[in-house]
Amino acid sequence: MPIRRLIIAMMFLLGATTDGWGAINDWTAIGPSGGTVNKIVYNKTTPSTVYAVATGGFYRSQDGGVSWQLIKSDFLNAPQDLAIDPSDATRIYAVASDYPCLYVSTDGGASMSAMTTLPTAVANGWQVAVSQNGATLYVAAGGRIFYSVDRAKTWQERTAVSTYPAALVFKLLIDSHRREHLVCIGKNIRDRRGDFRDSRRRDDLADARERKSVHQPVQ
């Protein structure tokens, strides 16, 4: 066989073998299968453990994403967001659009159950954020923001980002260095721009006065 044909044949065979473990400088699908994956996070304590929320529900992988286990699938609509408690890696939160909206796992993702502590009128849950000490949680539902300072046992509502019915906060972040800063990004915000910061005094997060300011886009 001419050397040129031999080289081409070898390249073809090598390329065909990459599907099982991932190609160099390329992307390889590893799951979970069954629809859109909305969020994926890994456990910093055990990086081989990965969690995902997708159309099918809440998934866990214990081998770095090589295989996935469907842990919870009975959501009315697909969960949209996922967060690990930075102070306790066995505690994972997921949020879905329909009440009770918030779900928690306290066993490292082996199981997940609903938390029914949010007000029953809360709908369109979309984002969840957890402070570095794990005590403070925020949940965004439409243009509304709810927060808890006791690991989701009780909740209070802050000033809404927008009162427009179609408003949606689709990104929610707590500043890792200054936990009194909450940053959110939204769409269909007709009465404001779409990027906000909520600031409170560090020593009294629950009761301090609230101040909102618009963030300029990073250049």
User: What pLDDT is recorded for position 19?
Assistant: 44
- Residue-range domains of the chain with CATH: 1-30 (no CATH), 32-214 (2.130.10.10)
pLDDT band at residue 162 using 50, 70 and 90 as cut-offs: confident
Give the mean model confidence (pLDDT) for residues 67-74: 96
Give the mean model confidence (pLDDT) for residues 46-57: 95
User: What pLDDT is recorded for position 15?
Assistant: 40
User: What pLDDT is recorded for position 89?
Assistant: 95
Give the mean model confidence (pLDDT) for residues 190-217: 40
User: What pLDDT is recorded for position 51?
Assistant: 97
Model confidence, pTM? 0.75
pLDDT tens, position by position, 80-128: 999 999 999 999 999 999 999 999 999 999 999 999 999 988 888 999 9
Q: What is the mean pLDDT of the chain?
A: 79
pLDDT tens, position by position, 1-47: 454 443 334 333 334 333 445 567 888 888 888 789 999 999 999 99
Q: Is the pLDDT of residue 60 over 60?
A: yes
CA dihedral sign of residues 109, 90, 131, 120? positive
More confident call, 174 vs 37: 37
